[in-house]
Amino acid sequence: MTRNVLFDTDPGCDDAVMLAMALGHDAVDVVGLSTVCGNSTVTNTTRNALAILDHGGFDVPVARGCERPLVDDLTTAEWIHGEGGLRGDLPDPTSEPVDQHGADFIVEQAREHGDDLTIAAVGPLTNLAIALAKEPALPEMVDDIYLMGGAAFQSGNVTPAAEANFHNDPAAASRVIQDAEAKMVGLDVTNGASPAPETIDSYGERGGGFGVVADWIGYPEAAQGVGQDRLAVHDAAVAADLVDPGVLSFEEYFCEVDTTGGPSHGAVVCDQYGVRDAEPNASVAVDMDLERFRSVFRAGVEGYAAAVDGADG
């Protein structure tokens, strides 16, 4: 059964790999992308999203979203993802974004597809927070809402406490955690979303469409972080579970996001032991089946690479 998915994204190398996986796998129908600032400016992330699609010949609407966080200053990560936010040398896109804001596009797609739609927000949550403000019934309208962000039981990756996407816009993350009834896929599992080293090596050797993905996945800084000694393609964990539900295991918890501006700004506070006696408000990913993840990863990238090579041919 094919799953209709709207990705809210900030490409970004790991976002690009995730999109390649999803676009290249028959189990997912990517119905649209909304772009947000994060790994780079929204101008760059929108350009990158269009280029990823165009290079494989995929006709998917892209809506440009928010250019800054709700409250905080924008912090980008070109030092990791490369100049313009994406490593490699993709041709400039020929397509254009739709004439609609990303937050409005999310709401429109939810109304159009209803419970046949899954929303996967894998960047800062600014667009999704605004979409929830515009349409509070959004969680009831769609099938699932996935988030790549946060860390319930792990240290952070941009501060000792906070993960990058949540730290980039803590106010938006707080609103989404409160209201979205979401599946939170955080560093607790994504730190382990590591393709086999021999798979990564083979992509550069094979060239063509695989070489495009190799440019995105071959950035050494992606393997750096607290306690990490191997490449983690964080967003890819979401795509894998969309294709093969059960790659990730979830448990229900009550969570909050720290927006106080102190040393834990943007951190997830997860009530692991129920001391607040509050009803759970998030499904937190707590484990990942690595072999199933790697199988989905390989299949999706192979599909995308074939599309790129076909478009170039």
Whole-number Cα distances in Å, 233 to 14, 142, 171, 218, 305: 5, 26, 25, 10, 18
What distance in Å separates the CA atoms of residue 182 and residue 180, rounded to the nearest whole number? 5
Q: Answer yes or no: 113 catalytic.
A: no
Whole-number Cα distances in Å, 221 to 78, 165, 225, 230, 269: 11, 17, 8, 10, 27
Query: Of the residues 25, 101, 234, 265, which is catalytic?
Result: 234
What distance in Å separates the CA atoms of residue 129 and residue 136, rounded to the nearest whole number? 10
What distance in Å separates the CA atoms of residue 56 and residue 25, rounded to the nearest whole number? 13
Q: Could you give the strand order of the β-sheet that contains 282-288, starting from the edge strand earlier in sequence?
A: 62-64, 28-35, 3-9, 117-121, 144-148, 183-185, 282-288, 248-253
Measured N-to-C along each axis, helices 197-206 and 208-217 cross at an angle, to the nearest 10 degrees, of 130
Gyration radius (Cα) of the chain, Å: 18
Burial string for 145-162 (b: 16+ CB within 10 Å, else e) reads bbbbbbbbebbbbbeebb
What distance in Å separates the CA atoms of residue 152 and residue 256, rounded to the nearest whole number? 10
Point out the residues that are catalytic. 234
